[in-house]
Amino acid sequence: MKIAVLTSGGDAPGMNAAIRAVVRTGIAFGHEIFGVLDGYRGLLEDNFIPLTSKDVSGMLSAGGTMLGTARVTEFKEVPVQMVAIDNLTNRGIDALIVIGGDGSYRGALALHELGFQTIGIPGTIDNDVYGTDFTIGFHTALNTIVDAIDKLRDTSSSHRRCSIIEVMGRTSGDLALYAGICGGAEFIITPENPINKDKLISTLKKHNDEGRRHAIIVVTEQQFDVHKLAAEISIKSGFSSRATVLGYIQRGGRPVAEDRILASRMGSYAVEAIMQGVSGECIGIKNDKLVTSPLADIVNHPKERGELYDLVQKIR
Ligand code: ADP
195 in a structural domain:
yes
Q: Atom 24 in ligand 1: which residue has the minimum CA distance?
A: 76
| 11 catalytic per annotation | no
- Distance (Å, whole) CA 316 – CA 314: 6
Please return the burial class of 109, using the count of CB atoms within 10 Å of its CB with bins 0-12, 13-18 and 19+.
Answer: buried
Range of the domain at 87: 2-137+255-301
Q: Return the residue whose CA atom lies nearest to atom 19 of ligand 1.
A: 103
Per-residue pLDDT of the chain (316 residues; tens, 9 = 90+): 999 999 999 999 999 999 999 999 999 999 999 999 999 999 999 999 999 999 999 999 999 999 999 989 999 999 999 999 999 999 999 999 999 999 999 999 999 999 999 999 999 999 999 999 999 999 999 999 999 999 999 999 899 999 999 999 999 999 999 999 999 999 999 999 999 999 999 999 999 999 999 999 999 999 999 999 999 999 999 999 999 999 999 999 999 999 999 999 999 999 999 999 999 999 999 999 999 999 999 998 888 777 888 888 777 6
Q: What is the per-residue pLDDT for 69? A: 95
Does residue 120's CB lie within 6 angstroms of at least one atom of ligand 1?
Answer: no
Please state the domain count of the chain.
2
Q: Which of 11, 46, 86, 126 is catalytic?
A: 126
Which residues are 181's β-sheet partners?
none
Q: Same structural domain for residues 52 and 78?
A: yes
pLDDT at 304: 78
Q: How far is the CA of 91 from the centre of ligand 1 (A)?
A: 24
pLDDT for the residue numbered 306: 77
The reply to whether 242 and 158 lie within a common domain is yes
Helices (H), the chain: 15-28, 40-44, 78-90, 102-113, 138-159, 174-182, 197-209, 226-237, 257-275, 295-298, 308-315
Is residue 292 one of the residues assigned to a domain?
yes
Answer whether residue 314 is part of any domain.
no
122 phi and psi angles, rounded to 5 deg: -75, 105
Statement to judge: residues 45 and 145 lie in one domain: no
Same domain, 145 and 172: yes
Does the Cβ of 169 fall within 6 Å of ligand 1?
Answer: no
Which atom of ligand 1 approaches the CA of 40 most closely? 16
Asked whether 140 lines ligand 1 (CB < 6 A), one says: no
Give the distance from CA 161 to its chain's centroid.
Answer: 31
Site to probe by mutation for ligand 1, drawn from 73, 104, 125, 298 as the one with most ligand atoms within 8 Å of Cβ, is 104
